Structure 1
């Protein structure tokens, strides 16, 4: 599972982008946010995700917020 940082996120549209640790820009699949039960994503927040390529675009799916125990 890859990790990255939220770059921008629109709560109303449930879409945005994140940057992977190697600085690749990835679009957030809106169904991933709803399916994970995530209410809000903040700029700079760390997440784990599955990286898929669809229609030539990189998408983040199965988002999980990174927590520190």
Structure 2
């Protein structure tokens, strides 16, 4: 799935992305580290992998964030 980087904190390595419909979805340091990135700037197109979590208030959890390449 593709998204756009929205926020990123280099100290915590966590942030959020905007889905193409404008929905913000947060990611944690584990998802950032899984993608092998060093830095993320707001506005960059990214590829994300999402895991649906049953019974959780937030139904989606990002498990991987990496740069979108063509």
TM-score by length of 2: 0.81
Secondary structure of the structure 2 residue equivalent to 1:34:
helix
- Partner residue in 1 for 2:57: 56
Q: Is there any run of 5+ residues in structure 2 with no aligned partner, and where?
A: none
- Partner residue in 1 for 2:68: 66
In the alignment, structure 1 residue 39 sits paired with structure 2 residue 41: no
Count of aligned positions: 67
- Partner residue in 1 for 2:25: 26
1:13-37 Cα deviation digits (max 9, x unpaired): 0111110011111011310111221
More strand by share: 1
Q: Give the CA RMSD over aligned residues.
A: 1.4
Once residues 15 and 26 of structure 2 are traced to their aligned partners in structure 1, the CA distance between those partners, rounded to angstroms, is 6
Secondary structure of the structure 1 residue equivalent to 2:11:
coil
